[in-house]
Structure 1
Amino acid sequence: MTEHLTTARLRLDAVVPADLDEHYPLLADPGVWAHYPSGRHTDPQQTAVGIEHAVGHWARDGLGYWTARLRTDGTVVGTGGCARRAGTEWWNLYYRFTPAVWGQGLAAELVAAALDCAHAVAPERPVVAYLLEHNERSRGRAERSGLSPVWRGPDAGNPDPAAVRLVYADRPLDPDLLARVIAMP
């Protein structure tokens, strides 16, 4: 079952409402959102809504986002995985980790597990990662995970009009699908 996995150093558990008290501080941390400050959570209700979406992903598709805990002591250090956003037909690869663990390879462990699960659950669905061009760590993680750049352009919905979005995918995307991916805020 993909709801609970372990990697070398992480315990990955499907996000559930009881995770609110651990997710909110993570997603409210300005460091977590250094590359997209307007994404920072400023109210626990915002996090609760995101958790409800995550619960829905698991119920609908059998795959979604995990809470990432250190296996050594259970400390929450991140969240992420692959989920199909409502109205889409691709897996969205997502990952956020607390800056205290950046550079330790934990995102690599989560991303590898997420890609393996996405390919096992619905291999016909492409895996797509959206990121901002100036987020070099995220771009590097996507590339080292085997994803390839498929688009570069304005970041729809970003309050920074100069922001550039990159879209990476695990396979080429046909023009119609790419147009739908690009249109997502």
Structure 2
Amino acid sequence: MTRPASLTPAVLETERLRLSKLSVVDFDAMWSIHADPLTNEFNPEGPLTERSAAQRLFGEWLGHWHEYGFGYWTVRDDEGIIGFSGIRHGTWSGRAVLNLAYRYTPRAWGRGYATEVAAAAVELWRAEHAARPLIAYTTPGNVGSQRTALAVGLERRPDLDRATGDPLGDDIVFALGWEA
């Protein structure tokens, strides 16, 4: 079965940022951001510690772009790459969903960039992918991530939370388009 191509352009501009389709030249920035303990403070899996694991993950992201025509963007400001954000296919509670994710270098924190890009991702979801629910999940202590999800219109959904047994707490969920 051939999937219809996404209408997502390879480069998208927000008010202050440039969002682009992933490229292999973005790998070192991805590795740096995802291996940084600060950017993983609320990640139960912690920072990436092996370059080979980062290469596998980045390969999955590139594969998603190739297969579906959209995915996590490389996010740049005037100084260069500041993070990775967007939506990609996943599952939650056995159901096909699109996952909204955002991870930025600490120099980008507190500027509203995550909200700016997440809003673009929600717009893309509404325009092209609303047939699948959109979710964002995080740990209870990650208040910044929770605020971002709420700011772009996702609703807190305690009924979708997932017990993890992790010391950081259970996964808490925000969603759009999740109907019973």
Same-fold status (TM-score > 0.5): yes
Q: Is 1:76 matched with 2:86?
A: no
Give the conservation status (yes or no) of the 8 Å contact 1:63–1:117.
no
1:10 aligns with one of 10, 14, 17: 17
When residues 126 and 19 of structure 1 are mapped into structure 2, their CA distance, relative to the original with a 3 A threshold, is same
CA distance in 1, matches of 2:163, 2:36: 22
2:56 aligns with one of 40, 49, 54: 49
Report how far residue 162 of structure 1 moved.
Answer: 5.9
Aligned length: 170
Report how far residue 88 of structure 1 moved.
Answer: 5.5
1:29-68 map, 5 Å: 29-36=36-43, 38-68=45-75
The residue number in structure 2 matching 1:177 is: none
The residue number in structure 2 matching 1:181 is: none
Bigger shift: 113-122 or 133-142? 113-122
When residues 162 and 28 of structure 1 are mapped into structure 2, their CA distance, relative to the original with a 3 A threshold, is closer
Report how far residue 136 of structure 1 moved.
Answer: 0.5
Q: Deviations over 1:97-146 (max 9, x none)?
A: 11222110100111011111122222211111111111110011111111
Report how far residue 17 of structure 1 moved.
Answer: 2.2
CA distance in 2, matches of 1:88, 1:39: 26
- Calculate the aligned-residue CA RMSD, in Å: 2.0
Give the conservation status (yes or no) of the 8 Å contact 2:140–2:168.
no
Q: Residue type of the partner of 1:89?
A: A
- TM-score, normalised via structure 1 length: 0.83
Give the conservation status (yes or no) of the 8 Å contact 1:30–1:37.
no
Give the conservation status (yes or no) of the 8 Å contact 1:15–1:66.
yes
Q: Is 1:108 matched with 2:108?
A: no
1:1-185 map, 5 Å: 1-36=8-43, 38-70=45-77, 72-73=78-79, 75-85=80-90, 89-151=96-158, 153-156=161-164, 160-161=166-167, 163-174=169-180
2:66 counterpart SS class: helix
CA distance in 2, matches of 1:150, 1:40: 27
Q: Deviations over 1:75-113 (max 9, x none)?
A: 111101010037852110000011222110100111011
The residue number in structure 2 matching 1:183 is: none
When residues 154 and 169 of structure 1 are mapped into structure 2, their CA distance, relative to the original with a 3 A threshold, is closer
Query: Percent identity at matched positions?
Result: 32
